[in-house]
């Protein structure tokens, strides 16, 4: 797997004398522009010449003005645009050898031997064919006099690196393809809008989403909106599905719901391989149940709109890695695809990925549906398993006799409600009695606890804030009262969903175990905070929503600055001492600098930034954007930095400041936060159930070991339980931060994309891995 980080030694002359061409091919996807921008800027940074190829492979074949040298300024303001600025086209000519001869000639004449292709599996397969034929194409071109022998010698081999741009997320080997997250944003906006009208009229809506032969968009949408049913091509419904579906819709209404939502992937099929269409489902519901039913086919709206923060960062990171892979390539390295595994950039052999992607289609065509789901990868399996549990398993008639309590602690974070909903419903499926604690540890101390049922959490996935109520109160002063409440309500297990207070508060409960026996129950902490500062997890619920809110605001501010010209905005973000939001928003919005506590800066650094902006004002890009984390430095405040920039920039640029404040904690949760919250809630209950059984003796529960109080976090690509006591050593309590933070290694990318001379020496160098290592047993846990 990944090797230890190495230095990309002296990256700013790695590309000297080399030329790179970048093209986008096949269907467009939001975030492609971010990738193009990163390839151009990092290419130029390394000393290489970079060329745009307009209109995909067609432009490569036609040559002429379709292949143009790119400049730093030409990719400015591209980051927030959807689609692909350099154009894409489906190209028949490139499928012929004659077309590829013309393309080779166009590249050789310009001395281009590195090609970066952003597209789907078809586009990437075409690139691999081109590379395999390269030497014979050159021989033919020399014979016909198209190129000279010297030109052929100078361009003796072609390096190819692919990035997958596709809203379908149908490419095996990468967790997410560029564009998928943005497509989910578009879909969820529409589902949320339709939900309100459906409730008004007590309607059933059948929504058809894109995805070709891949059910990823449909599956995540169903999880994120709590749909009644989803049809995906990888796992067709059982033969008696019509009966089951109608029964399910009636049950949902019976629990007090005023609407039904059914999600259909455009490639949905039954066990015999025949299509299941939206109209078929509508007619079935109308005929058998008599509900007022409407069909909405989402279509190309899913491809459009501005890219999400995740897709911009993904595109930028992939672009950086693609340039490195091209410039480090030798005639012996196979064509590779740059992809994402957890939060790591990895390189995989292109044709291995294409092969596994084709294997999924073959499995579906041959009716091996279980294999198809497994080949899609662990993330897809986990999502499918959680969906099946929440949608198709009924609460049992016999109860377990255990009571589980759920609470929110700290500041509100979007996605908390999705986690509560999943925990409550999975708990009921396990046969437990579920208790809702209002207003955090304060409510637990004062007995604000009530039973909550299946319908009590209906429609919660799409709601921002905290429905249970949340406070920052820590439990230390109230341990006696909390023990009494736990005893009064016979609480056998506790799920604490919140930020740093949830972590420290749960540690305080553990400390109190010696004095109060009632506190000896299993506890699970789920990190949920916009700051993303909880140890033990790469991400926390709510951070993605906050990041998108900041990014959207920065886009608007950049538009204002671009209109007035010669203007620099200083924007203050939340996060406490944690610079996650400032750094990631800087990457997503194309900031010139992001000041954070973890990366100390001096007055000299501020001076360098001002000088850099003064130089920038001499170019065609006459605007600046600077982000500052709220607690990055107690003396260099937002007001101080604003005053400094105003004074030093006099006569060159004007400065403005914005403090974004609590808008960062609000808003509708993003698809990622809904899905993440749902999976975390489900997994926490499964773990607690096991722990309660483990520590149960004669009807009493006594859990006082370190592993009976854990934090559920996302590490790379797995959800893992870690004892709070172990995480205590990894925490800087004074600054409420984990001692190690994975995202700090992305900061050099921010600086390079803003045209600073720096080395990519703390960027991890991804080595070529093999996709076969990524196989996962079918029984992988949720």
300 appears as a binding residue in the annotation? yes
Name the CA radius of gyration of the chain, rounded: 27
- Assign 205 to helix, strand or coil: strand
455 appears as a binding residue in the annotation? no
Strand partners, 475: none
Cβ(118)–Cβ(22) under 8 Å?
Answer: yes
210 appears as a binding residue in the annotation? yes
Identified catalytic residue from 28, 62, 128, 168 = 168
In order of 263, 290, 293, 389, 765, the CA distances from 205 in angstroms are 8, 13, 6, 22, 47
Cβ(98)–Cβ(52) under 8 Å?
Answer: no
**C-alpha to C-alpha distance for 450 and 386, rounded to whole angstroms:** 26
575 appears as a binding residue in the annotation? yes
3-state secondary structure 12-39: HHCCCCCEEEEEECCCCCCCHHHHHHHH
Q: Which residues have CB under 8 Å from 763's CB, separation 6+?
A: 5, 8, 320, 745, 746, 748, 749
Cβ(282)–Cβ(291) under 8 Å?
Answer: no
Cβ(736)–Cβ(500) under 8 Å?
Answer: yes
DSSP H or E segment with residue 99: helix 97-109
Where does residue 710 rank: exposed (0-12), middle (13-18), buried (19+ CB within 10 A)? buried
110 appears as a binding residue in the annotation? no
203 appears as a binding residue in the annotation? yes
What angle, rounded to 10 degrees, do the helices at 671-694 and 416-429 form? Answer: 40
Q: Which of 570, 567, 569 is nearest to 623 (CA)?
A: 567
226 appears as a binding residue in the annotation? no
530 appears as a binding residue in the annotation? yes
27 appears as a binding residue in the annotation? yes
- Which stretches within 262-329 are classed as H helix? 278-288, 309-327
Sheet harboring 654-659: ordered strands across?
Answer: 593-595, 623-629, 567-573, 654-659
Which token pair is 706? 């370190």
Sheet harboring 114-119: ordered strands across?
Answer: 67-69, 49-53, 19-24, 114-119, 159-164, 336-341, 344-349
Q: How many CB atoms lie within 10 A of CB 92?
A: 11
Q: How many CB atoms lie within 10 A of CB 407?
A: 29
716 appears as a binding residue in the annotation? no
492 appears as a binding residue in the annotation? no
- Assign 289 to helix, strand or coil: coil
630 appears as a binding residue in the annotation? yes
167 appears as a binding residue in the annotation? yes
The DSSP symbol for 258 reads: S
Cβ(763)–Cβ(769) under 8 Å?
Answer: no
**C-alpha to C-alpha distance for 347 and 1, rounded to whole angstroms:** 10
**C-alpha to C-alpha distance for 166 and 499, rounded to whole angstroms:** 34
311 appears as a binding residue in the annotation? no
Cβ(749)–Cβ(319) under 8 Å?
Answer: no
465 appears as a binding residue in the annotation? no
37 appears as a binding residue in the annotation? no
Where does residue 603 rank: exposed (0-12), middle (13-18), buried (19+ CB within 10 A)? exposed
Looking from the CA of 394 toward its CB, the CA atoms found within 13 Å total 9
266 appears as a binding residue in the annotation? yes
**C-alpha to C-alpha distance for 294 and 597, rounded to whole angstroms:** 52
302 appears as a binding residue in the annotation? yes
**C-alpha to C-alpha distance for 279 and 249, rounded to whole angstroms:** 17
Cβ(754)–Cβ(592) under 8 Å?
Answer: yes
Q: How many CB atoms lie within 10 A of CB 97?
A: 12
532 appears as a binding residue in the annotation? yes
Q: Is 605 a catalytic residue?
A: no
Query: Would you give the end-to-end CA distance of the chain in angstroms?
Result: 23
Pairing of strands 470-471, 449-451: unpaired
317 appears as a binding residue in the annotation? no
Detail the DSSP E strand segments found in 210-309: 229-231, 260-265, 293-297
312 appears as a binding residue in the annotation? no
3-state secondary structure 507-565: HHHHHHHHCCHHHCCCEEEEEECCCCCCCCCCCCECHHHHHHHHHHHHHHHHHHHHHHC
Cβ(32)–Cβ(178) under 8 Å?
Answer: yes
Q: Which residues participate in the annotated binding site?
A: 27, 90-91, 120-123, 166-168, 203, 210-212, 266, 294, 300-303, 472, 529-533, 567, 574-576, 630, 656, 662-665, 736
Give the annotated binding-site residues for Mg(2+): 121
Residue ranges of the binding site for beta-D-fructose 2,6-bisphosphate: 472, 529-533, 567, 574-576, 630, 656, 662-665, 736
* Known binding positions for ATP: 27, 90-91, 120-123
Residues designated catalytic:
168
């Amino acid at each position: 797997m990944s090797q230890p980080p190495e230095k990309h030694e002296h990256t700013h002359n790695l590309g000297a004398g080399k030329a790179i061409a970048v093209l986008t091919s096949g269907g467009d996807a939001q975030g492609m522009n971010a990738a193009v921008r990163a390839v151009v800027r990092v290419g130029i940074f390394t000393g290489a010449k970079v060329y745009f190829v307009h209109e995909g492979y067609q432009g490569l074949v036609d040559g002429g003005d379709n292949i143009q040298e790119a400049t730093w300024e030409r990719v400015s303001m591209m980051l927030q645009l959807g689609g692909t600025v350099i154009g894409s086209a489906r190209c028949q000519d490139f499928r012929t050898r004659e077309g590829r001869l013309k393309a080779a000639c166009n590249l050789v004449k310009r001395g281009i031997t590195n090609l970066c292709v952003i597209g789907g599996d078809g586009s990437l397969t075409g690139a691999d064919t081109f590379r395999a034929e390269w030497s014979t194409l050159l021989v033919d071109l020399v014979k016909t006099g198209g190129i000279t022998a010297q030109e052929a010698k100078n361009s003796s081999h072609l390096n190819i690196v692919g990035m997958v741009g596709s809203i379908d997320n149908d490419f095996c080997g990468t967790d997410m393809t560029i564009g998928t997250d943005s497509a989910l944003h578009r879909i969820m906006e529409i589902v949320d809008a339709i939900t309100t009208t459906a409730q008004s009229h007590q309607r059933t809506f059948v929504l058809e989403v894109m995805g070709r032969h891949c059910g990823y968009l449909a599956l995540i949408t169903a999880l994120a909106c709590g749909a009644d049913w989803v049809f995906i091509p990888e796992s067709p419904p059982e033969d008696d599905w019509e009966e089951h579906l109608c029964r399910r819709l009636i049950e949902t209404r019976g629990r007090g719901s005023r609407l039904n939502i059914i999600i259909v992937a455009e490639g949905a099929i039954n066990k015999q391989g025949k299509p299941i269409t939206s109209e078929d489902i509508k007619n079935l519901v109308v005929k058998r149940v008599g509900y007022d039913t409407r069909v909405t086919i989402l279509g190309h709206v899913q491809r459009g709109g501005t890219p999400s923060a995740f897709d911009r960062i993904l595109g930028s990171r992939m672009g950086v890695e693609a340039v490195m892979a091209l410039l480090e390539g030798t005639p012996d390295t196979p064509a590779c695809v740059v992809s994402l595994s957890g939060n790591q950039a990895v390189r995989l052999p292109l044709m291995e990925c294409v092969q596994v992607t084709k294997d999924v289609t073959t499995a579906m065509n041959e009716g091996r549906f279980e294999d198809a789901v497994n080949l899609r990868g662990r993330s897809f399996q986990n999502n499918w398993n959680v969906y099946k549990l929440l949608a198709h398993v009924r609460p049992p008639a016999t109860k377990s006799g255990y009571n589980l309590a759920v609470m929110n602690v700290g500041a509100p974070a979007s996605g908390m409600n999705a986690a509560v909903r999943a925990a409550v419903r999975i708990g009921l499926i396990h046969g437990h009695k579920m208790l809702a604690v209002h207003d955090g540890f304060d409510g637990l101390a004062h007995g604000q606890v009530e039973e909550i049922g299946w319908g009590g959490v209906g429609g919660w996935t799409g709601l921002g804030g905290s429905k249970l109520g949340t406070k920052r109160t820590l439990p230390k002063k109230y341990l006696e009262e909390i023990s009494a409440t736990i005893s009064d309500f016979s609480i056998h297990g506790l799920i604490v969903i919140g930020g740093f207070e949830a972590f420290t508060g749960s540690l305080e409960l553990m400390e109190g175990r010696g004095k109060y026996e009632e506190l000896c129950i299993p506890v699970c902490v789920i990190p949920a905070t916009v700051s993303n500062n909880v140890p033990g997890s790469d991400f926390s619920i709510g951070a993605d929503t906050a990041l998108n809110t900041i990014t959207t605001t920065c886009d608007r501010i950049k538009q204002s600055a671009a209109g007035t010209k010669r203007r620099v905005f200083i924007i203050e973000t939340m996060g406490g001492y944690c610079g996650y939001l400032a750094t990631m928003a800087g990457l997503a919005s194309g900031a010139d600098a992001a000041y954070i506590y973890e990366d100390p800066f001096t007055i000299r650094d501020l001076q360098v930034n001002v000088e850099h902006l003064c130089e920038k004002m001499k170019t065609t890009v006459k605007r600046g954007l600077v982000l500052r984390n709220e607690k990055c430095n107690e003396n260099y405040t937002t007001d101080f930095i604003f005053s400094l920039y105003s004074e030093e920039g006099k006569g060159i640029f004007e400065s403005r400041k914005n403090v974004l404040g609590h808008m960062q904690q609000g808003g509708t949760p993003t698809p990622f936060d809904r899905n993440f919250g749902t999976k975390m809630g489900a997994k926490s209950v499964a773990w607690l159930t096991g722990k309660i059984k483990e520590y149960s003796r004669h009807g009493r529960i006594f859990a006082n070991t370190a592993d009976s109080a854990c934090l559920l976090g996302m590490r790379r690509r797995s959800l893992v339980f870690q004892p709070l006591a172990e995480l205590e050593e990894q925490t800087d309590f004074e600054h409420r931060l984990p001692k190690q933070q994975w995202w700090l290694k992305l900061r050099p990318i921010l600086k390079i994309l803003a045209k600073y001379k720096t080395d990519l020496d703390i960027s991890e160098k991804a080595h070529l891995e093999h996709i076969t290592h990524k196989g996962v047993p079918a029984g992988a846990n949720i």
